[in-house]
Copies of this chain bind each other. A is one copy, B any other.
Amino acid sequence: MFVGAQVSLYPMTDGFVDVILGSLRALDPWRDRLRIETDDISTLIVGPPEVLFPALRDLFAEAASTGHHVVLRATLSRGCPGEPDDPICRTGALANPSEPLETRQDAALEALAATADTGQHAAAQFSLYVMGAGDHMLEIMGCIDFLKRSGTFDRSKNFCTRLSGDAGPVFATLQQAFCRFGPPNGHVTIDLTVSANSPTGT
């Protein structure tokens, strides 16, 4: 299994370099369970979903706490054919393939109920893609049904779903969507945008 994300942080300020570098310290508690590589477009973060999503949450919350309009963007992927099997990604967080959709939705809601707030608001939108064999729309519709009951659902938009709320439950919702829908050995990706402090009202 190979799990990870190409992540970028966009602070809309002249001091964007300082905001980015200052926010990276939020990754420190997670670094020993992640592999991180940076270039000028994005940072590759490889690791299991139960580490990856909290790390992204903390990175976002730290950047948002500056008060600047900041956006975190990520291309998340698991099970991409052609990627190597990486021991750092070993995880028990992916759903059992024999579990029916309803059981997985219930487990996702239960995990959400145990999530703490961060104090930072997050406006997110994302698309979940399930590739390969099987009925990908059935899994996506099952995920959307979970999202509508998650407490962070804002609205459906063309091509994506909007979430809104504290960054804690918002990133936990994303983690559940990523882990519980689509086959555990399948190729599942998320195209994610999370925004804070936008001067434009919703």
Report A's interface with B, CB cutoff 8 A: 2, 4-6, 8, 10-14, 16-17, 39-42, 44, 46, 69, 71, 73, 75, 77, 80-83, 123, 125, 127, 129-132, 136-137, 157-160, 162, 189, 191, 193, 195, 198-202
Contacts and interface: CB of A to CB of B under 8 A. Distances in A.
A195 B8 CA distance: 11
A137 B6 contact: no
Given A6-B125, A189-B129, A159 B75 contact: yes
Contact of A81 (B14, B69, B137): B137
Given A14-B14, A75-B127, A131-B136, A158 B191 contact: no
A42 B125 contact: yes
A123 B136 CA distance: 32
Contacts of A131: 129-131, 136
A195 B137 contact: no
B200 A39 contact: yes
A160 B6 CA distance: 9
Contacts of A132: 136-137
B75 A73 contact: no
Given A40-B202, A41-B125, 12 more contacts: A5-B159, A12-B13, A13-B16, A14-B14, A40-B200, A40-B201, A42-B125, A77-B159, A129-B131, A130-B131, A132-B137, A159-B189
Given A12-B11, A130-B131, A131-B136, A162 B41 contact: yes
Contacts of A198: 40-41
Contacts of A12: 10-14, 16
Contacts of A125: 6, 41-42
9 contacts: A6-B157, A12-B12, A41-B125, A42-B193, A44-B158, A75-B159, A77-B158, A129-B129, A131-B136
